[in-house]
Amino acid sequence: MITLNTDKAFIEITKEQVYAQAAEAKSCNRTLENGTGKGNDFLGWLHLPSTITEAEIADIEATAGKLRSKCEAVVVIGIGGSYLGAKAVIDALSGSFDSLENKQTLILYAGHVIGEDYLYELSQFLAKKSFGILNISKSGTTTEPALAFRILKKQLEDAVGKEEARTRIVAVTDKERGALRTLATKEGYKTYVIPDNVGGRFSVLTPVGLLPVAIAGIDIRQLIAGAVAMEKATGSEVPFDRNPAEIYAAVRSEIYKSGKKIELLANFNPKLHYVSEWWKQLYGESEGKENKGIFPASVDFTTDLHSMGQWIQEGERSLFETVISIAKTRHTVAVPSDEQDLDGLNFLAGKRVDYVNKMAELGTQMAHVDGGVPNIRIELPELNAFYLGQLLYFFERACGISGYLSGVNPFNQPGVEAYKKNMFALLNKPGY
Ligand code: PA5
């Protein structure tokens, strides 16, 4: 199992303060399970891992297999909760250079930006490939993915004809509402449903995340198995002192109350960059409302120690750090000995590169704790689908508990509409 270590979190707060919150955290977890809290019509994610059926998994795998056999590239169209989960898992579990090696179906993304140059360059690239499209939008009306889909659908139809294009387009959307559902029905696309009671940022374990991940050749059964294990480990019947989601929620809530308003999610493995992006949306949209909420930020170490390290060490003391640590690497690289030793690195000869990374991690933790930055540590035994499934579910569960601890509805996002209204009015969209 992945483990949570909060030993170094107690700088301005005490363990006693956290344990004084145990009953409250437990009660928030029960509220989630009983479905009696705010936003209780959006709790479908809670038991997704343990309730997904063999038929659903097999269907996703079959569609992924079809697209993989037909297409050199699949463009995953989506934004926010309809994009970040898949990107997080695919980046975390793929080889760093897989996409350059034509080893498997190339996963490309669109609709996550409004970029004319990006779309032009993507379409130029796709002109040389046989490709398919996976269009993911719960509402079916989000501007960024709708724009990208309109352009790429036309390109695909022009390239292979309407009939063939229909077999290469898959839609993941609402079961009955929205423009994408209407179009999919009209065109006869293969479709998957995003359940009504699962919000975008909690949808990674629905077809929103599972289908693109399966197309990328990743074992979704292991991902789900990991999430099932964490669903059990974080249930409200598990005592507080053994319940990582309740502890994480209680510790960060106490740290926030002590005046630290920023949580920095740090990793020492660049493959986790998009796990942090996914986490930022999860916590930012869930907690940042009613003029409160921890600001979720992220860094990739050791890279960012050479840019943000100064601020973290000596800037305003308003942050705490949560580090995702991977115990075991997938591969082994030892430092070679060098006759001349001009770089002075012979003292490391024979040592693993990961040993250097681990010492950087330990040294950073010591320095940041000394500098007044409380440290929470989440350790994965290794970076595979099983432990990543645990991590994703752990963060989701803790997020629900956290939101209830701070008194907000963690499952709505009224604030994201403000820019859209202005943008639509500026674009002269009818009705705005
Ligand atoms: O969490 C959310 O609700 C948002 O990030 C949405 O997922 C995002 O705006 C995309 O929405 P849709 O799937 O409706 O296109």
Catalytically active residues are 285, 306, 420
Inter-residue contact 38 to 404 (CB < 8 Å): yes
Tell me the three-class secondary structure of 71-88, residue by residue.
Answer: CCEEEEECCHHHCHHHHH
d(CA 415, CA 432): 17
Whether residue 432 lies inside any domain: the answer is no
Inter-residue contact 222 to 205 (CB < 8 Å): no
Whether residue 197 lies inside any domain: the answer is yes
Residues 269 and 405 in one domain: yes
Residues 111 and 205 in one domain: yes
Residues 115 and 162 in one domain: yes
Percentage of the chain exceeding pLDDT 70: 100
88: containing domain: 48-223
Whether residue 426 lies inside any domain: the answer is no
Is the pLDDT at 414 greater than 90, yes or no? Answer: no
Residues 54 and 28 in one domain: no
Q: Ligand 1 pocket, 111 CB below 6 A?
A: no
Whether residue 100 lies inside any domain: the answer is yes
pTM: 0.97
Residues 194 and 299 in one domain: no
Number of domains, the chain: 2
Whether residue 423 lies inside any domain: the answer is no
d(CA 174, CA 197): 10
Distance 122 CA to ligand 1 centre (A): 22
Bridge partners of 352, per DSSP, are 334
CB atoms within 10 A of CB 377: 19
For residue 266, give both structure tokens.
């740090």
Mean pLDDT score, 31-39: 97
Distance 60 CA to ligand 1 centre (A): 21
Is the pLDDT at 145 greater than 90, yes or no? Answer: yes
Residues 194 and 314 in one domain: no
If DSSP codes are grouped into helix, strand and coil, which group holds residue 97?
coil
Distance 137 CA to ligand 1 centre (A): 7
- Which residue, of 181, 206, 223, is where some domain finishes? 223
- DSSP single-letter state for residue 336: P
Residues 10 and 153 in one domain: no
Residues 137 and 266 in one domain: no
Give tens-digit pLDDT for 76-93.
999 999 999 999 999 999
Q: Dihedral sign for Cα 252, 393, 142, 77, please.
A: positive
pLDDT of residue 416: 87
Give tens-digit pLDDT for 336-360.
999 999 999 999 999 999 999 999 9
Whether residue 275 lies inside any domain: the answer is yes
Residues 246 and 198 in one domain: no
In angstroms, the first-to-last Cα distance of the chain is 50
Give tens-digit pLDDT for 213-257.
999 999 999 999 999 999 999 999 999 999 999 999 999 999 999
d(CA 219, CA 386): 9
C-alpha distance from residue 238 to each of 116, 230, 231 (Å): 50, 11, 11
H helical segments located in 258-384: 273-287, 309-314, 353-370
Q: Of ligand 1's atoms, which has the minimum distance to the CA of residue 139?
A: 14
Give tens-digit pLDDT for 196-219.
999 999 999 999 999 999 999 999
Whether residue 430 lies inside any domain: the answer is no
Residues 241 and 372 in one domain: yes
Q: Ligand 1 pocket, 81 CB below 6 A?
A: yes
Is the pLDDT at 102 greater than 80, yes or no? Answer: no
* Residue whose C-alpha is closest to residue 406's, from 252, 262, 263, 279: 252
Q: In whole numbers, what is the pLDDT of the chain averaged over residues?
A: 96
d(CA 354, CA 359): 8
pLDDT of residue 312: 97
- What's CA 417's distance to the chain center, in Å? 22
Q: Ligand 1 pocket, 145 CB below 6 A?
A: yes
pLDDT of residue 161: 98
Residues 16 and 165 in one domain: no
Residues 177 and 322 in one domain: no
d(CA 381, CA 390): 11
pLDDT of residue 130: 96
Query: Which single residue is written with the structure tokens 């035994």?
Result: 381
Q: Ligand 1 pocket, 200 CB below 6 A?
A: yes
Pairwise pLDDT comparison (49 vs 421), residue with the higher score? 49
Whether residue 269 lies inside any domain: the answer is yes
Q: What is the CATH number of the domain that holds 268?
A: 3.40.50.10490
